[in-house]
């Protein structure tokens, strides 16, 4: 996927790039709406983005499976891009070609989170983000409920192959290896820790070895981090081993 996207933007002639996966859909006025802002934005603005929504096909229609997502990352540090509430799917933004050139595009060694990684590297390099209000979601991101994205053997990805790369990106946003150096607000800090906990909870159920490895890493990242029984509902004797 990364190689295909790199081939696409390097072949394109425009100064702003729109990505669109084959199974997703854009609002009719999406590009016009965002280009009106992009063309007036200073060079340091690398990404203009809007609200988006996850949908699934039912009886020939794309119907919502969750509320509209409205990320807010303007002026925030790179780590904020990795918080669940702030995830921006590629189709929901326009990306300035010059900033893609600055970071050399998508990392072709990655097969998951390559889009988030690209945005984090752009933000780390100094690229800015600008939210563009819209009357509804500008991107309909298609889900396939019959096939989970990650989890057990029936899922598209093994859970550890999802959790470990995400945690790796999170840790790289910390200059001293700890969460306090990410520059997050107290609310965003709590949300990022909650996302770490979510992955740990899932790993505990599906892959105990990967859980132990990731728990140790999270404890280094968040000094004093301790999972709660409410998060890992298992017998006390098992909890004593965590």
Query: What is the DSSP track for 52-65?
Result: EEEEEEETTEEEES
**pLDDT greater than 70 at residue 149:** no
| Angle subtended at Cα 78 by Cα 176 and Cα 29, rounded to the nearest 5 degrees | 175
Question: How many other C-beta atoms are found inside a 10 Å radius of the C-beta of residue 57?
Answer: 13
Question: Contact, 90 vs 171, CB < 8 A?
Answer: no
Question: Contact, 108 vs 3, CB < 8 A?
Answer: yes
Residue-wise pLDDT tens digits, 88-106: 999 999 999 999 999 999 9
Q: What is the CATH number of domain 2-142?
A: 3.90.550.10
Residue-wise pLDDT tens digits, 180-203: 999 999 999 999 999 999 999 989
E strand intervals along the chain: 16-18, 25-26, 45-49, 52-58, 61-64, 93-96, 128-131, 139-142, 150-151, 157-158
Report the greatest alpha carbon distance in the chain: 62
Is this model's pTM higher than 0.75 or not? yes
When pLDDT is averaged across residues 224-229 and rounded to a whole number, the result is 77
**pLDDT greater than 50 at residue 159:** yes
């Amino acid at each position: 996927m990364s190689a295909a996207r790199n081939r696409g933007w390097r072949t394109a002639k425009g100064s702003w790039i729109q990505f669109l996966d084959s199974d997703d859909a854009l609002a009719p006025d999406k590009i016009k709406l965002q280009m009106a802002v992009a063309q007036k934005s200073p060079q340091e603005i690398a990404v203009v983005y809007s609200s988006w929504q996850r949908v699934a096909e039912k009886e020939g229609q794309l119907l919502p499976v969750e509320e509209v997502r409205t990320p807010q990352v303007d002026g925030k540090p790179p780590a904020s891009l990795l918080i669940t509430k702030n995830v921006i799917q590629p189709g929901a933004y326009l990306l300035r070609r010059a900033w893609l050139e600055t970071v050399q595009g998508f990392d072709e060694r990655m097969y998951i989170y390559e889009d988030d990684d690209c945005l984090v590297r752009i933000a780390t390099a100094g690229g800015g983000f600008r939210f563009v209000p819209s009357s509804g979601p500008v991107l309909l991101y298609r889900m396939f409920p019959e096939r989970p994205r990650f989890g057990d053997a029936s899922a598209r990805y093994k859970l550890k192959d999802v959790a470990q790369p995400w945690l790796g990106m999170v840790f790289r946003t910390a200059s001293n290896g700890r969460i306090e150096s990410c520059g997050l607000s107290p609310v965003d800090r709590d949300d990022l820790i909650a996302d770490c906990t979510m992955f740990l909870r899932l790993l505990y159920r599906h892959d105990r070895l990967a859980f132990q490895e990731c728990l140790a890493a999270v404890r280094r990242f968040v000094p004093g981090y301790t999972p709660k029984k409410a998060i890992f509902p298992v017998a006390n004797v098992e909890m004593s081993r965590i």
